[in-house]
């Protein structure tokens, strides 16, 4: 599909494009886990899934190991609160029901981190046929994300008037499946063509050289064999409509920040926990793979004291967003030495690491590393993968067995295992796995 700012890209995101002109744009930002619960665990603790307990996407309710951010693990939110910050969490938490409140954060609004179930829905009406679990068009009512942003906006004057520094997090469900989108945003893409497909589209499971873990649908949304061209078009229409809805909500919140007089004394970030396949390799949503479509994420940080419209090309991780913001806010004393060293603001890293442990109760362990040209993935019980992103940006050809790239693979694997050992990842060597969270 190309970059969202390219002239031929279908996405209509005027507010985010405007924000990009006043912020630092991290062009090579990646999630450490292309799965929302483990990714959010990394974001809010700075620790990897095997270190904080959030290894699956199951809200702390079912499946191995527990899917719950362990209570003894302090989050950045707790550290900020203890340092005198007013912390407000609005929206999707997805790290076990009630566990924002359990950690002493009282300002929890329309969130499963407080007393609102994640699956609670707003009072909306759908029109026309729906393709479950893919999409639906909302013709009446305000989705819960819209209600969340309204509450966030209404809280800004009080926060701005406080004598305390503050940290509000506004966390939306959109644009995750299912794409339940207000009709006006779906209509923005009425002219989307059935031919608007990624270059690396193919019939699902038809590629060779892919790991066994990628040979089966793991969720209802992965079953795409029955999708017609019109089904795909409508799915894409609702996905881009969902993105435009997020853009509109962001624009409203951005204006409210200005109206509250906070432009010159705040750090303001926008990001996502993972991407979307949207027909790449025949898949929808995300899954147990390290494709660029789910790993690469938007990341913008606006700092009133920094130069505007800066683009950073070095590799950065979603895991390190809070250390970056905390340092820019002058509260770096809250960080551990290893966290401080991962501050993204002046990065020089030419590589980034990934991990994966489980999905929908199934153990699918693998690790990976990506530099500017190559991506390598290792699994203890499945195929290795190696892609040359310069010659094969769609990751169609697994070159792990290519003798000409043996040295490249060896060097990437060594770098990956050095990182795994540094992070006390027991997949790096023989030994028993301890209980999660120990």
Element (H, E) at 378: strand 374-378
DSSP 252: H
β-strand pairing of 310-317 with 299-303: unpaired
Residue 393 lies in a domain: no
**CB of 356 closer than 8 Å to CB of 370:** no
pLDDT at 52 over 70: yes
Residue 227 lies in a domain: yes
Residue 429 lies in a domain: no
pLDDT at 435 over 60: no
How many domains in the chain?
A: 1
Percent of the chain with pLDDT over 90: 73
What pLDDT is stored for residue 437 in this prediction?
45
pLDDT, greater one: 434 or 280: 280
Tell me the pLDDT tens digit for each residue of 254-268: 999 999 999 999 999
Element (H, E) at 90: strand 86-91
Residue 404 lies in a domain: no
What pLDDT is stored for residue 64 in this prediction?
46
Tell me the pLDDT tens digit for each residue of 233-255: 999 999 999 999 999 999 999 99
Average pLDDT, the chain: 91
Percent of the chain with pLDDT over 70: 93
pLDDT at 280 over 80: yes
How far is the C-alpha of 276 from the C-alpha of 292, rounded, in Å? 9
How far is the C-alpha of 315 from the C-alpha of 28, rounded, in Å? 5
Tell me the pLDDT tens digit for each residue of 119-131: 888 999 999 889 9
Kindly give the residue spans of alpha helices, DSSP state H, lying in 223-364: 229-259, 292-295, 321-328, 337-340
Q: Which domain holds residue 122?
A: 14-350
CATH number of the domain at 70, please.
Answer: 3.40.720.10
Residue 138 lies in a domain: yes
Phi, psi of 259 (to 5 degrees): -60, -30
Residue 412 lies in a domain: no
Residue 400 lies in a domain: no
Residue 13 corresponds to which tokens in the numbers above? 């995101």
**CB of 113 closer than 8 Å to CB of 44:** no
Phi, psi of 12 (to 5 degrees): -110, 100
| pLDDT, average across residues 392-418 | 97
Residue 135 lies in a domain: yes
Sign for the pseudo-dihedral over CA of 267, 332, 26, 151: negative
Kindly give the residue spans of alpha helices, DSSP state H, lying in 179-336: 183-186, 229-259, 292-295, 321-328
What pLDDT is stored for residue 9 in this prediction?
85
* Residue carrying structure tokens 């199951």: 58
| pLDDT, average across residues 366-370 | 97
Tell me the pLDDT tens digit for each residue of 30-42: 999 999 999 999 9
What pLDDT is stored for residue 438 in this prediction?
40
pLDDT at 303 over 90: yes
What pLDDT is stored for residue 356 in this prediction?
96
């Amino acid at each position: 599909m190309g970059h969202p700012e390219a002239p031929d890209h279908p996405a209509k995101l005027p507010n985010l494009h405007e924000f990009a002109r006043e912020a630092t744009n991290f062009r090579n930002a990646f999630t450490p886990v292309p799965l929302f619960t483990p990714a959010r665990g990394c974001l809010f603790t700075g620790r990897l899934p095997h270190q904080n307990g959030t290894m699956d996407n199951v809200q702390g309710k079912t499946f191995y190991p527990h899917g719950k951010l362990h209570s003894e693990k302090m989050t950045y939110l707790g550290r900020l609160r203890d340092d005198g910050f007013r912390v407000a969490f609005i929206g999707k938490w997805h790290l076990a029901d009630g566990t924002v409140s359990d950690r002493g954060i009282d300002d929890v609004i329309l969130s499963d981190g407080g007393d609102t179930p994640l699956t609670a829905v707003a009072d909306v009406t759908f029109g026309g046929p729906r393709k479950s679990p893919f999409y639906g068009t909302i013709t009446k009512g305000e989705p819960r994300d819209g209600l969340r942003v309204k509450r966030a906006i209404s809280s800004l004057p009080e926060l701005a008037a406080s004598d305390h520094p503050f940290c509000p997090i506004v966390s939306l469900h959109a644009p995750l499946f299912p794409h339940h989108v207000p009709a006006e945003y779906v209509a923005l893409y009425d002219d989307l063509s059935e031919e608007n497909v990624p270059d690396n589209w193919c019939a699902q499971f038809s590629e060779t050289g892919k790991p066994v873990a990628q040979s089966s649908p793991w969720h209802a949304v992965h079953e795409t064999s029955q999708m017609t061209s019109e089904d795909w078009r409508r799915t894409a229409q609702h996905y881009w409509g969902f993105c435009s809805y997020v853009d509109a909500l962001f624009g409203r919140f951005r204006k409210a920040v200005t109206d509250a007089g906070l432009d010159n004394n705040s750090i303001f970030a926008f990001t996502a926990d993972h991407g979307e396949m949207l027909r790449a390799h025949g898949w929808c949503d995300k899954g147990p793979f390290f494709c660029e479509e789910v790993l690469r994420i938007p990341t913008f940080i606006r700092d009133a004291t920094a130069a505007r419209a800066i683009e950073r090309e070095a590799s950065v991780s979603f895991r390190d967003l809070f250390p970056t913001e905390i340092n820019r806010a002058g509260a770096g004393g809250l960080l551990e030495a290893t966290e401080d060293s991962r501050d993204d603001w002046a990065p020089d890293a030419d590589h980034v690491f990934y991990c994966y442990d489980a999905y929908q109760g199934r153990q699918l362990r693998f690790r990976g590393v990506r530099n500017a040209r190559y991506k390598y993935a290792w699994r203890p019980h499945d195929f290795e993968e190696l892609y040359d992103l310069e010659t094969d940006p769609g990751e169609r050809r697994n070159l792990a067995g290519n003798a000409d790239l043996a040295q490249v693979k060896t060097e990437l694997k060594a770098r990956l295992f050095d990182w795994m050992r540094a992070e006390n990842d027991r997949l790096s060597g023989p030994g028993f796995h301890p209980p999660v969270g120990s």
